């Protein structure tokens, strides 16, 4: 290597070292939970063995929820009682969140349906079940597991099974329940191991392949890693494993997916009250940029039984059925159109901002940027004018290459 290249190589080497040390450095920060970070233990950070994170109310100091997922400022949580909390700061294992009060879940006219479950079943289940065939506008569903190695300790004996964990059986039970209701479902039982940060990149391919098969709604089925009590509640007087919905914040579909999650929770609160534990708007993408109807479900924790989790997904299939095949769900889905249009405006705004920033860096000043844009448009419109004139037969422009080169 020449001397000229030495600084470059040194910087690359230092950066490489920084990346290697990244978790140690970040865990040494005072905001992090671990007491003495063990390098090897850090590689299993998705399922903390030494504890979990609490979300607490800034004012009352009450615990709102526990999760093995790291909570960051800016994350949001809708509780089972539909109270919205926004995380403001994180101190150690505790994420302090401020209550924004009780919210009305997504306004899709579901609020106008009867509170009486029996009448709901009459209008929804009995009307559809005899035919056992979905309406034309009901999307085909796709179910997969980004972390197909996840298991349930009481049933499977271990937290993770590389060849395929208990989560696959839970997903399979969900799929079977949906199919029994006449819904069309495509299922992938790929595990996407090795169990590393590339798992979502690999499961992205599965999600995309499901999309090519005509899937219009995607569900990624997982389990959490906190004590079983956190995910256990009485549902219709029976102790039941709860389901938490996770919406990724780092993608353009967040609003659409969030409203989809809220719509499902609203239906669940009426069909099987208590089944949905809450909605967690967490950092990350979770491949939810692929489709505006894609969600991640946490079905219980590693301490719940696999059988209990499978039963819960059977109940959750009722929620999906009502949402997609019933009148209330239809109204909610129609409401998602407005949400999508707002997202479109955001995409255009952000893309414009990014383009403007890039051009500004390239030109160096607003004056130059303006001059460059003026030149660009005058050139493009001149060509456009030339073409129009040519069409009218005012002149022969056969030699016009019209390219941007």
Instruction: Return the residues of window 66-95 that contact another protein according to CB under 8 A.
Output: 69-72, 75
Instruction: Between 247 and 315, name the residue whose CB sits nearer to another protein.
Output: 247
Tokens of 17: 């070292």
368 near another protein, judged by CB under 8 A: yes
Element (H, E) at 169: helix 167-180
Can residue 399 be called a binding residue for another protein (CB under 8 A)?
Answer: no
**Binder of another protein out of 73, 154, 284, 314 (CB under 8 A):** 284
CB nearer to another protein: pick between 240 and 253? 253
Closest approach of another protein to the CB of residue 359, in Å: 7
Distance, first Cα to last Cα, the chain: 37
- Window contacting another protein (CB under 8 A); options: 108-116, 176-184, 310-318, 360-368: 360-368
Residues 214-243 that bind another protein (CB under 8 A): 216
- What is the contact mask toward another protein in residues 179 to 218, using x (rule: CB under 8 A)? -----------xxxxxxxxxxxxx-xxxxxx--x---x--
Q: Is the C-alpha dihedral spanning 281, 286, 292, 294 positive or negative?
A: negative
* Residue 6 makes contact with another protein by CB under 8 A: no
Query: 145 vs 272, which CB is nearer to another protein?
Result: 145
Does residue 20 belong to the site contacting another protein (CB under 8 A)? yes
Q: Is residue 244 part of the contact set for another protein (CB under 8 A)?
A: no
Among 109, 155, 283, 305, binds another protein (CB under 8 A): 283
Kindly list the distances between the CA atom of residue 281 and the CA atoms of 47, 62, 133, 251, in Å, as whole numbers in the listed order. 19, 20, 33, 12
106 torsion bin: left (phi>0), alpha (psi -120 to 50), beta (else): beta
Residue with tokens 């100091």: 61
Q: Does 405 bind another protein (CB under 8 A)?
A: yes
Q: Which residue has the tokens 């999307």?
A: 139
Q: Closest separation between CB of residue 342 and another protein, Å?
A: 9
Q: Which two tokens stand for residue 287?
A: 């491949």
Nearer to another protein by Cβ, of 125 and 200: the residue is: 200
Which residues from 27-46 bind another protein, rule CB under 8 A? Answer: 42-43, 45-46
In 115-241, the DSSP E strands lie at: 140-144, 185-187, 215-224, 232-235, 238-241
Residue 12 makes CB contacts below 8 A (sequence gap 6+) with none
Positive or negative CA dihedral for 277, 275, 324, 106? negative
- C-beta closer to another protein: residue 148 or 300: 148
Instruction: Tell me how far, at minimum, the Cβ of 284 lies from another protein, in Å.
Output: 3
Of residues 170 and 296, the one with the C-beta less far from another protein: 296
Bridge partners for 83 per DSSP: 102
Region 338-357 residues binding another protein, contact defined as CB under 8 A: 338-341, 343-344, 347-348, 351
Residues in a beta bridge with 281: 76, 247
DSSP states along 62-96: -EEEEESS---TT-EEE-TT-EEEEEEEEETTEEE
Q: Least CB distance from residue 399 to another protein, whole Å?
A: 16
> According to CB under 8 A, which residues from 119 to 158 bind another protein?
139, 147-148
């Amino acid at each position: 290597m020449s001397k000229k290249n030495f600084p470059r190589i040194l910087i690359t080497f230092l950066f490489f070292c920084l990346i290697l040390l990244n978790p140690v450095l970040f865990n040494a920060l005072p905001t992090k939970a671990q007491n003495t970070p063990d390098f090897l233990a850090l590689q299993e950070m998705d399922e903390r063995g030494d504890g979990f994170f609490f979300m607490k109310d800034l004012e009352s100091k009450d615990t709102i929820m526990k999760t093995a997922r790291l909570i960051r400022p800016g994350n949001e949580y809708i509780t089972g009682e539909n109270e919205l909390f926004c995380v403001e700061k994180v101190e150690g294992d505790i994420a302090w969140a401020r209550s924004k009060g009780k919210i009305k879940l997504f306004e899709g006219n579901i609020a106008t349906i009867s509170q009486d479950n029996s009448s709901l079943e009459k209008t929804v289940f009995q009307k559809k079940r005899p035919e056992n065939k979905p309406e034309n506008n009901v999307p085909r569903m796709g179910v997969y597991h980004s972390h197909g190695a996840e298991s349930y300790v009481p049933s499977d004996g271990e937290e993770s099974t590389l060849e395929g964990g208990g989560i696959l059986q839970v997903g399979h039970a969900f799929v079977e329940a949906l199919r029994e209701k006449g819904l069309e479902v495509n299922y992938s039982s790929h595990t996407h191991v090795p169990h590393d940060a590339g798992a979502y990149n690999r499961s992205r391919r599965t999600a995309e392949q499901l999309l090519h098969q005509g899937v219009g709604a995607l569900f990624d089925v997982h389990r959490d890693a906190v004590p079983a009590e956190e995910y256990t509640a009485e549902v219709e007087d029976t102790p039941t494993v709860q389901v938490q919905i996770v919406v990724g914040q780092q993608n353009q579909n967040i609003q659409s997916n969030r409203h989809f999650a809220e719509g499902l929770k609203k239906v669940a609160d009426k069909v099987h009250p208590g089944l949905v534990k809450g909605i967690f708007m967490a950092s990350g993408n979770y491949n939810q940029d692929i489709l505006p109807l894609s969600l991640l479900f946490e079905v219980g924790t590693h301490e719940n039984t696999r059988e209990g989790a499978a039963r819960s997904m059977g109940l959750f299939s009722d929620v999906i059925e009502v949402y997609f095949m019933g009148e209330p769900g239809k109204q909610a889905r129609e409401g998602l159109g407005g949400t999508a249009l707002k997202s479109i405006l955001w995409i255009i705004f952000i893309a414009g901002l990014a383009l403007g920033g890039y051009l500004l860096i390239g030109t160096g000043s607003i004056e130059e940027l303006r001059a460059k844009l003026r030149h660009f448009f005058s050139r493009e419109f001149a060509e456009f004018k030339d073409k129009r004139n040519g069409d009218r037969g005012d002149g022969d422009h056969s030699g016009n290459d019209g390219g941007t080169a």
